[in-house]
Structure 1
Amino acid sequence: MRHKAFFYLFLFSLLIVVLLYANNKNMYKAEARKIEIAHKRIDIVRDSLKAAKADLIEAKYFSLENNADAQEYFNYKTLDKDIVRIKEEVLALNHQEDGNPLVPYGKINGEKCIVNKIEVLNHRWLIAEFYAGDLRGEVLVKYFFNPEKPTTFDSIETVLYNKK
């Protein structure tokens, strides 16, 4: 009788081991499928990132960052400081009574024109966005930078957008 009890205990243990093995095998397959799907998603995201990076490089083609010829105009050691100085000088013009003189409109509906965003395109041009109340626009500016003197600015063209 003792042998029968051990035999049934052995069969029961063997049955549990087989069930656990089958369950773990199914769990392993399910996890492997999840990992495979995750790898496919990662590949899709990598491809999207490469495309977005290419689009960004294309969009920044006309920028000082990607224009080595324009960068040569500046001292490479102080390039970042010089660009910040140019932007600060444009923003400092906002404090004049009639608004920023780079915007040729003066006051519009009693509101002075204020430049709020600037992008330096190269060593001679910058583009700036301005607003006056509900109206907004852009101005293309020619500038001459000299480290020892204040930067001189000259508006080339402006665009004024309608209210939205």
Structure 2
Amino acid sequence: MKKSLMLYLFLLAILMNIFTYMFYSREVKFEKERYEKTTKRLRDSIGLVSSKLAESNYFTLENNENAQNYFDKSASGGKVILYEKLIPIVTEKLLDLNTNPNGNPYTGQDKIGPNKFIINKVKVLNHRWIIADFSNGEIWGEVLLKYFVNDNESIDFEVNQSLLYQK
């Protein structure tokens, strides 16, 4: 009886080891497949986000080689303007005008009520155009501006069109 009990326990231990080995080997395979699926999904998501970002940045000075070449005046004997340095300068000059007591004059809107219109966000589209978002805290709008870089490196702005959104 003692020998048969030991035989049964030995067979049971072997069966338990086989089942444990099969369980863990399939678990590893399952986890590996799940990891591969998740990695593929994440790569697809990253690719989608990258393509959407590239598409949204299509109309920017950073990605428009023709607009960048406009500032390369070395062929005509003029001074070369680096667009990487120009974008923050243009943005800063436009935002500095927010300190005007009547609001930023390049919003294209007069002061309505007690609050003045100030520009919140600026995007330089190319060598000539800027789009900006403005508000007075209650009313929001957007403006399309022309900008000119003069020979003395001063920057002039001109309102092309402005619109206000309804409340």
> After TM superposition, is the score higher than 0.5?
yes
Paired residue for 2:148? 144
Moved more, 126-135 or 9-18: 9-18
Describe the shift of the 1:77–1:23 C-alpha distance in structure 2 as closer, same or farther (beyond 3 A): farther
Instruction: State the Cα distance separating 1:20 from its structure 2 match.
Output: 2.0
Paired residue for 1:34? 31
Instruction: State the Cα distance separating 1:53 from its structure 2 match.
Output: 1.9
Paired residue for 1:72? 69
Q: Pick the aligned partner of 1:101 from 98, 105, 122.
A: 105
Paired residue for 1:126? 130
Q: Pick the aligned partner of 2:17 from 11, 15, 20.
A: 20
Describe the shift of the 1:77–1:105 C-alpha distance in structure 2 as closer, same or farther (beyond 3 A): closer
Q: Deviations over 1:16-36 (max 9, x none)?
A: 244223212212202211221
SS for the counterpart of 1:102 is helix
Q: Answer whether contact 2:62 2:83 (CA < 8 A) is retained.
A: no
Q: Note the aligned Cα RMSD (angstroms).
A: 2.4
Number of residue equivalences: 160
Paired residue for 1:159? 163
Paired residue for 2:49? 52
Q: Pick the aligned partner of 2:60 from 63, 74, 96.
A: 63
More strand per residue? 1
Q: Answer whether contact 2:97 2:104 (CA < 8 A) is retained.
A: yes
Q: Answer whether contact 2:134 2:142 (CA < 8 A) is retained.
A: yes
Q: Which amino acid in the other structure matches residue 151 of structure 1?
A: I
Moved more, 82-91 or 37-46: 37-46
Q: Which amino acid in the other structure matches residue 129 of structure 2?
A: W
Moved more, 57-66 or 126-135: 57-66
Paired residue for 2:120? 116
TM-score normalized with structure 1 length: 0.84
Moved more, 16-25 or 72-81: 72-81
Q: Which runs of 5+ in 1 are unaligned?
A: none
Q: Answer whether contact 2:62 2:84 (CA < 8 A) is retained.
A: no
Describe the shift of the 1:16–1:133 C-alpha distance in structure 2 as closer, same or farther (beyond 3 A): same
- 2:10 and 2:83 mapped to 1: Cα distance? 76
- 1:78 and 1:71 mapped to 2: Cα distance? 8
